[in-house]
Structures are given as structure tokens and as C-alpha cells.
């Protein structure tokens, strides 16, 4: 967050025409590659700067053939392609001819040339095509990562879940496709069962844990929902999450509208909203219902009815499996994959990643197994290609970019290793200095390595630079995490007097240990 504030300030400065130092420029350029929020913002400003050349950047790009409408009912269905433009151009020319003639004959008196109102060529609001009827009934497991079980047996992607089947996840994640157009994902500690798979009323029962459902627009008369201790929760086209510990149920609606029928009344919840549906057994013990849906939403949007190949990967415990840019989860893993060419990457902290190119034909099935020795080696599988060890000649910028990519993908140990390699191989570079603060944040926030974080922040502060404020604040947090409260207090006092107006100073004042 601290780096983000700095980035935003520097970005604003640039936008106002201000100039930056070389190090600031480097920071502005490199920070977004490790921070998804700032990356999105950078993309937004960048896109805005290109809309004159590429007007389609102004409007949502559909991923399918149908123009996507707005989430908020803001109905600009802008189809500004050639076909949409031609009639408007003709109309304008016709009108302008009349106006020009009027202007000439009336001496250009603009108030005399009342503009003719022309038919708008813009698209009328139109609905997205619903998922076609006739998709096969039934539910299929799309992802089993870690310890996922169906009816107490190890779950495998592709297997069908019949009515009454119980899916549970002890460690990792699992997703289920419920055609047409519904994907449900769950994570650790969750158990659900399939109540009915009738096309009109498909229902799961969420016994405990956390589930996210992503629904494409459903055919008329068809819905999907969960039975919960707080009644049914039903939707027709939306993204929502439910979390229950059997005594309370929390609902978070990310997109669209969800109906909750408690048995005595029906409530409608429109995105964005969070609701606690039941207090029946005392105060809610649902924790943090707003914060941790991101991963499951990501998964639920990834798997679709078109996912039909099966990929199975086994590897040493703690190995992460990525397919293309998407992080599938932890091994052992089985997943449904859409046809196409992919880059499979299996990584494990302390080992070089294994990378393999895979081509999925429709309904194909590929199995890979890897075991860890000094490096991760392919044990089973055809044409597996071991990842080349990174060449020493890689530039500091390349390493920094890669570390930030790994961090953005949630692959923190890999990111840490890459930052450290950058520090080792390019110790005097500006990238290495920036990396010290990023590494410190990573060690402190994600890797539980306060000791290492303190060394990283101290390293940066010895050299100095524009991230001094962030490094100082990180150092205080690291000292606190290490229990060195007296030093932390002294450092906090120094920080508050050096940066009295900063957000961090306010937090420190409020949060004196």
C-alpha cells in the first residue's frame, strides 16, 4: 500500500506535466508489474491516452461475440465499428449540407440554423444471449486441487457428480461445472452436496465453508442456487459467494442480483452488497466475509462449459501448478481444460520451475507426474521439457519484472528468490535498490520472514532513495513482528516526526504497541 501511494503520487505528478528523477521513473514503470491494482490503474491511464487512435478502448471489450453491457445498468452498448458508423456519417453529411446551406444563405447565423434532430445510430439496449437450452444436465468436477474428495473418495476432474454426491475440500480448492453456464468453486474446510440437478432448479446444499458461484445468464425458467441454514439463495445470472459455519450465513453479491428465500420472506440483494442472512443461533461468527472471495471468483470464471480436456499433475507437496497465465492451484491437481496450447509450469520454493508446452485437443487427457530431487525433474510424461536455469546474463530489469510477475501471480517464494537473485547479480543497480523494499514487503506480509524483511529494509535505508518512507515504515512493522517493541517505538517516533502528515504516521499514532 505504501508503495502504491508513492506510485499514485508520482503518476499524478507526471500527469500534471511534472518531471521525475531516473529512479522515480524506474519505480513508476516497474511497480505496477508487482501490484495488480496499480497495474490496472496504469492500464486505465494508458488506454485513455490511446482512445483517439483506438476508440474501442473507451468501451468494454467483449470477450465473446456479444457486446457486454454495463454492470450498473448504464446502458451504453457502443458498437462503434465500421458498420455502425456509416449510417451516422451519411446522416451527418446530409444534415451538415442543410446546415451549411443555411449558414451560407443566412450569413452564418448559427441560431437561425436549428439543427435537425437525426435518428441515433447508437445501439439500443439489448440482452446478452442466454446460455442455450439443451445443455446436458448433471454436474462435473472441473478442478480438484489438494485434498478434494467426492463421497469420501479422492476427487478427479471430469467425474460426474450425481444427486446426493458430497464434495468436500480439506486442503486446496475444487470447482464444479453445472451446465448450462454455472460454475461453483469451494475452498478449504468446505462441504457441499448436490440436492437436485433438474434443469429448472439446480440446487446445492452448502453444509459448511465457503463457496462462490458464477452464473452466466440462465435460460428462461432456469435458476441455480444453494440451500443453506438461512434458506435458499438463488440467482439467474450473477457472481456471489456464500460462507457458513452452520450457525450463520453470509452472502456477498459481486455482480447482478441474488434472491434469498428464508422461508418466511424473500429478499433481493443487488451487487455490490454483503448480507448476514442468519442470526438464528446467536451472534455471527462469520469472519471477514468481504475479503477473501478473490481467488474463488477467479477460479469460477476460469472454468466454463467449454472446459472438456483433463489435465492431471502430481508433484511434490507444496508445488504450484500454473497453466498459461493462470494459477491452477497446488498439486496433486486435476483440472478440466479448454482446447488450446498452454504453457504448464510446476514450481516449488527452492527449485527451478519445470515448464512444458501442452496441446489440448477436445476431450483429450494428459497426465504428468514430477518428483523433487535437487531440482524438480520430470518422472513421467511425454516430451516434458525441463526449464532452463536462468542465464546469468539476464538484466536487472528483466529479473525485476519477473519477480513482480511472480508476486502478482501469488507465487511468493519464487518472487522472493528472484528478488534475491537480482540483488546478488546486480547489487549496484537501481532495480536492486527498489527490489529491497519489495522484497522486504514480501518477506513481511507473505512469507512470515520478519527477520529477512528487517534486513531488506535496513539495506535500503543504508543506501537511501525515494522509498525511504516506505522502507522506514516497513522496518517498524518488522521490528514489531519480531517483538522488538522498544526499538519499534523509537523508530515510530522518528517516523512520525519525519512524516507527520503521512497515512502511515496516522496509523502508527493510532496503533501504538
| Footprint of another protein on 57-76 (CB under 8 A) | 57-64, 68-76
> Which range of residues in 31-39, 182-190, 328-336, 461-469 is near another protein by CB under 8 A?
31-39
Q: Which is nearer to another protein, 240 or 495 (CB)?
A: 240
Secondary structure element (H or E) that encloses residue 244, with its range: strand 239-244
Q: Is 121 an interacting residue with respect to another protein (CB under 8 A)?
A: yes
Cβ nearer to another protein, comparing 82 with 393: 82
Grid-cell match 446426493, residue found: 164
Helix (H, G, I), strand (E, B) or coil at 386: coil
Question: Are the beta carbons of 242 and 251 closer than 8 angstroms?
Answer: yes
Residue closer to another protein (CB basis): 112 or 395: 112
Dihedral angle computed from the Cα positions of residues 281, 287, 289 and 290, in that order, rounded to the nearest 10 degrees: 150
Comparing C-alpha atoms, which of 445, 28, 510, 485 is closest to residue 502?
510
**In this structure, what DSSP letter does residue 296 have?**
H
**Binder to another protein among 205, 217, 468, 484 (CB under 8 A)?**
217
Q: Which of 20, 128, 397, 461 binds another protein (CB under 8 A)?
A: 128
Q: Would you tell me how many other CB atoms lie within 10 Å of the CB of residue 315?
A: 25
Total Cβ atoms within 10 A of residue 14: 15
Q: Indicate the residue among 90 and 367 with the shorter CB distance to another protein.
A: 90
Q: Which of residues 82-111 bind another protein (CB under 8 A)?
A: 85, 88-89, 91-93, 95-97, 99-101, 103-104, 108, 110
Choice between 113 and 355, CB closer to another protein = 113
Residue whose entry in the numeric block shows the C-alpha cell 496509523: 507
Q: Does 482 bind another protein (CB under 8 A)?
A: no
135: its cell numbers: 445443455
- What region does 140 belong to: left with phi over 0, alpha with psi -120 to 50, or beta? beta
In the region spanning residues 254 to 313, those forming contacts with another protein, defined by CB under 8 A, are 254-257, 268, 270-272, 291, 293-295, 297-298
CB-nearer residue toward another protein: 165 or 403: 403
Q: Per CB under 8 A, which region of 15-23, 171-179, 186-194, 201-209 contacts another protein?
A: 15-23
The Cα 319–Cα 342 span in angstroms is: 18
Using CB under 8 A, pick the residue from 23, 25, 29, 80 that binds another protein: 80
Binding mask 407-426 for another protein (x = CB under 8 A): xxxx----------------
CB-wise, 284 or 445, nearer to another protein? 445
Nearer to another protein among residue 140 and residue 404 (C-beta): 404
CB 297 within 8 A of CB 290: no
Stretch binding another protein (CB under 8 A), from 32-40, 131-139, 388-396, 450-458: 32-40
Identify which range of 35-43, 193-201, 202-210, 421-429 contacts another protein by CB under 8 A. Answer: 35-43
Cell numbers 456477498 correspond to 252
Contacts of another protein in 177-216 (CB under 8 A)? 216
**Beta strand 223-228 pairing with 309-314:** unpaired
**Mask for 359-398, x = binds another protein (CB under 8 A):** ----------------------------------------
**Cβ neighbour number for residue 491 with a 10 Å cutoff:** 20
**Phi first, then psi: what are they for 303, rounded to 5°?**
-90, 130
- CB nearer to another protein: give 161 or 215: 215
Stretch that binds another protein, among 51-59, 200-208, 303-311, 417-425 (CB under 8 A): 51-59
Q: Is 20 in the site for another protein (CB under 8 A)?
A: no
Question: In the set 17, 263, 282, 283, which binds another protein (CB under 8 A)?
Answer: 17
For the chain, state the CA radius of gyration.
27
36 binds another protein (CB under 8 A): yes
Cβ 438 to another protein shortest distance, Å: 11
Q: With CB under 8 A, what is the number of residues at the site for another protein?
A: 100
Binding mask 420-459 for another protein (x = CB under 8 A): ---------------------x---xx-------------
Helices then strands, counting H and E runs in the chain, come out as 12, 22
Cβ-based nearer residue to another protein, 88 or 369: 88
433 — phi, psi (to 5°)?
A: -65, -45
Q: Three cell numbers at 353?
A: 520451475
Contact present, 366 and 335 (Cβ < 8 Å): no
Cell of 250: 453470509
Question: What is the enclosing helix (H) or strand (E) of 284?
Answer: none
Element of type H or E holding 262: none
**Residue with smaller CB distance to another protein, 51 or 154:** 51
Per-residue binding letters, 144-183, with another protein (x by CB under 8 A): ----------------------------------------
Cβ-contact 318, 348 below 8 angstroms: yes
Which listed range, 9-17, 159-167, 470-478, 493-501, lies at the site for another protein (CB under 8 A)?
Answer: 9-17
SS3 state of residue 194: strand
252-260, 314-322, 377-385, 473-481 -> range binding another protein (CB under 8 A): 252-260
Cβ–Cβ < 8 Å for 211, 336: no
For residues 133 and 138, give the distance between their C-alpha atoms in angstroms, rounded to a whole number: 14
Cis preceding linkage at 332, omega within 30: yes
Match 451516422 to its residue by C-alpha cell: 88
Least distance (Å) between residue 430 CB and another protein: 22
| Least gap, CB of 212 to another protein (angstroms) | 10
Name 183's bridge partners. 177, 214
Amino acid at each position: 500500500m505504501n508503495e502504491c501511494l508513492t506510485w499514485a503520487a508520482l503518476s499524478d505528478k507526471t500527469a500534471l506535466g511534472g518531471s521525475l528523477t531516473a529512479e522515480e521513473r524506474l519505480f513508476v514503470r516497474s511497480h505496477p508489474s508487482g501490484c495488480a491494482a496499480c497495474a490496472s490503474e496504469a492500464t486505465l491511464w494508458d488506454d485513455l491516452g490511446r482512445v483517439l487512435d483506438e476508440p474501442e478502448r473507451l468501451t468494454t471489450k467483449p470477450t465473446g461475440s456479444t457486446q457486454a453491457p454495463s454492470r450498473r445498468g448504464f446502458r451504453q452498448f457502443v458498437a462503434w465499428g465500421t458498420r455502425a458508423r456509416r449510417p451516422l456519417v451519411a446522416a451527418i453529411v446530409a444534415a451538415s449540407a442543410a446546415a451549411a446551406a443555411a449558414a451560407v444563405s443566412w450569413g452564418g447565423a448559427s441560431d437561425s440554423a436549428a439543427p435537425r434532430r437525426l435518428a441515433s445510430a447508437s445501439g439500443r439496449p439489448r440482452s446478452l444471449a442466454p446460455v442455450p437450452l439443451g445443455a446436458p444436465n448433471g454436474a462435473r468436477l472441473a478442478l480438484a486441487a489438494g485434498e478434494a474428495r467426492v463421497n469420501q473418495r479422492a476427487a478427479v476432474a471430469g467425474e460426474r457428480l450425481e444427486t446426493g454426491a458430497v464434495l468436500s475440500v480439506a486442503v486446496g480448492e475444487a470447482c464444479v461445472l453445472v451446465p448450462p453456464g454455472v460454475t461453483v468453486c469451494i475452498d478449504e474446510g468446505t462441504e457441499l452436496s448436490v440436492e437436485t440437478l433438474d434443469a429448472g432448479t439446480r440446487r446445492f446444499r452448502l453444509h459448511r465453508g465457503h463457496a462462490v458461484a458464477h452464473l452466466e445468464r440462465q435460460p428462461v425458467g432456469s435458476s441455480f442456487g444453494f440451500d443453506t441454514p438461512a434458506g435458499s439463495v438463488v440467482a439467474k445470472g450473477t457472481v456471489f459467494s456464500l460462507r457458513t459455519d452452520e450457525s450463520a450465513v453470509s452472502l456477498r453479491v459481486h455482480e447482478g442480483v441474488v434472491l434469498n428465500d428464508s422461508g418466511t420472506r424473500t429478499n433481493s440483494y443487488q451487487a455490490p452488497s454483503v448480507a448476514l442472512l442468519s442470526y438464528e443461533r446467536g451472534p455471527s461468527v462469520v469472519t471477514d466475509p468481504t475479503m477473501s472471495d478473490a481467488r474463488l471468483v477467479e477460479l469460477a470464471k476460469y472454468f466454463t462449459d467449454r472446459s472438456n480436456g483433463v489435465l492431471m499433475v502430481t508433484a511434490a507437496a507444496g508445488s504450484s501448478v500454473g497453466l498459461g497465465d493462470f494459477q491452477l492451484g497446488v498439486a496433486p491437481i486435476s483440472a478440466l481444460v479448454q482446447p488450446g496450447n498452454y504453457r504448464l509450469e510446476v514450481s516449488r520454493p527452492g527449485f527451478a520451475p519445470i515448464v512444458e508446452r501442452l496441446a489440448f485437443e477436445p476431450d483429450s487427457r494428459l497426465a504428468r507426474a514430477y518428483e523433487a530431487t535437487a531440482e524438480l525433474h520430470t518422472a513421467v510424461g511425454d516430451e516434458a521439457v525441463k526449464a532452463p536455469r536462468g542465464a546469468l546474463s539476464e538484466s536487472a530489469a528483466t529479473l525485476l519484472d519477473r519477480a513482480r510477475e511472480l508476486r502478482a501471480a501469488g507465487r511468493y517464494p519464487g518472487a522472493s528468490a528472484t528478488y534475491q537473485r537480482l540483488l546478488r547479480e546486480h547489487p549496484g543497480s537501481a532495480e536492486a535498490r527498489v527490489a529491497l523494499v519489495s522484497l522486504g514487503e514480501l518477506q513481511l506480509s507473505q512469507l512470515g520472514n520478519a527477520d529477512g524483511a528487517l534486513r531488506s529494509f535496513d539495506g535500503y535505508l543504508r543506501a537511501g532513495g525515494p522509498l525511504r518512507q516506505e522502507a522506514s515504515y516497513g522496518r517498524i512493522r518488522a521490528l514489531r513482528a519480531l517483538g522488538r517493541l522498544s526499538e519499534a517505538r523509537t523508530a515510530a517516533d522518528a517516523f512520525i516526526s519525519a512524516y507527520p502528515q503521512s497515512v502511515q504516521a496516522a496509523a502508527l499514532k493510532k496503533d501504538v504497541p
